[in-house]
Amino acid sequence: MDRTSLYPLRFEPIYQYRLWGGRRLSDLLSSPLPDEGPVGEAWVLSDREDHPSRIANGALKGQTVGAVMQQFQDQLMGKLEKRFLRFPLLLKFLDAREMLSVQVHPGYPPAKPLPEGEAAKTEAWVVLEAGRDSRIYAGLKPGTTADILRESITHKTLADHLSSITPKPGDGVFIPAGTVHSLGGDVVVFEVQQNSDTTFRLYDWGHVDSKTGKPRGLQVDQALACIDFVDGTAGLVTPAVETKTPVERERLFDCDAFRLWRLRGKLPFTITTEGVPRVLVCIEGPGQIEHGSDTYAVGRGEVWLLPAVIESCVFRPAHAVSLLEIEVPA
């Protein structure tokens, strides 16, 4: 397969049981949910050995994104081909009917050695749906110390020391590595994160896993060792509008690990890869990607990876659309 044969790649979601999840992802994604039980996460782009995303269209259908990384690394990654052995982002939809555990992800360098293949984990959320009781916790209130957190876990008052957000659809929330965080109460979000699956739980709200009949384990010492008690960048972000025509383009997140824009409009517009892969996530409204003489129908909830070799393509909305565009900074 030559360079020009790598094309826009679509992936099927990988659904994950989570005791705090619900069934609302069936309204967002076209692939049917498992028959029963709470589904908390849909992994929509994952280059992980335990849950690898598989291509759902074209000549590479059925291959994992990891296999494509190995075989076509320069075509897929462009300027980034020497930096990453696996695709550096993990993308998800989350349906948090109940509260996630209060947790923290390691920073870089980590306070203690991590499992082989794991790394720091900065992430961010775009709120898609929120209910009357929805809540996001992102960061600590000023003056909170490790000793205060330990005592509050014992007395089940940890939430009193967390910065709280009442989310609404469209909000962007940034969670740098080392940030104490949680969300739930009937909220649906899109999550972009570094490709790591290391999480340390501080507190779990008294949840009991119906599959085991037992509470989930906590990792208080590891979590406390990872917390950044100084960084104040977590929380709601203010979108920065970059263009208004032919599509409104606003930047939500811009950090060392990823950049994310929200695109909204009705008119066709061009997407350029600029030498790095880009990901498109369709949040509202159908359309199609046009590249050369080929067209690819895009539906709500779908995730498309545009290899760096594509250089440019046109997105043609059927009517008003809302997309997320994501890149890894070169």
* Domains of the chain by residue range: 3-236, 240-327
In terms of Cα–Cα distance, which of 313, 150, 296, 171 is closest to 224? 150
Closest CA to 89 of 124, 62, 56: 124
Q: What is the CA radius of gyration of the chain?
A: 20
Which pair of tokens denotes residue 103?
């947790």
H-helix segments, 184-235:
220-226
Q: How many CA atoms lie within 13 A of 248 on its CB side?
A: 11
User: Tell me, what's the pLDDT at 3?
Assistant: 46
Give every residue of the chain whose pLDDT is below 50, as ranges.
Answer: 1-4
User: What DSSP string describes 3-55?
Assistant: GGG---EEB--EEEEEEEEESGGGGT-SSPPPSSS-EEEEEEE---SSS--BB
Residue owning tokens 């406390």 = 224
Residue 17's alpha-carbon distances to 2, 22, 96, 211, 272, in angstroms, are 39, 9, 11, 10, 36
The alpha helices in the chain, defined as continuous H runs, are 65-71, 73-77, 146-155, 220-226
Same fold, 3-236 and 240-327: yes
Please tell me whether residue 161 adopts helix, strand or coil conformation: helix
Write out the two tokens for 53: 């995303």
User: Would you state the pLDDT for residue 327?
Assistant: 97
The candidate with the shortest Cα–Cα distance to 54, out of 84, 17, 10, is 10
The domain over range 3-236 is classified in CATH as 2.60.120.10: yes
- Distance, in Å, from the CA atom of 228 to the CA atom of 254, rounded to the nearest integer, reads 19
CB atoms within 10 A of CB 153: 17
The answer to whether the beta carbons of residues 124 and 252 sit under 8 Å apart is yes
CA distances from 171 to 136, 179, 190, 252, 259 (A): 11, 18, 11, 9, 16
Pick the CATH number of 240-327 from 2.60.200.20, 1.10.3430.10, 2.60.120.10, 1.25.40.10: 2.60.120.10
CB 161 within 8 A of CB 144: yes
CB 321 within 8 A of CB 248: no
Asked if the bond preceding 109 is cis, omega within 30° of 0, the reply is yes
Cα separation, 128 vs 60, in Å, equals 31
Contact 160, 203 (CB under 8 A): no
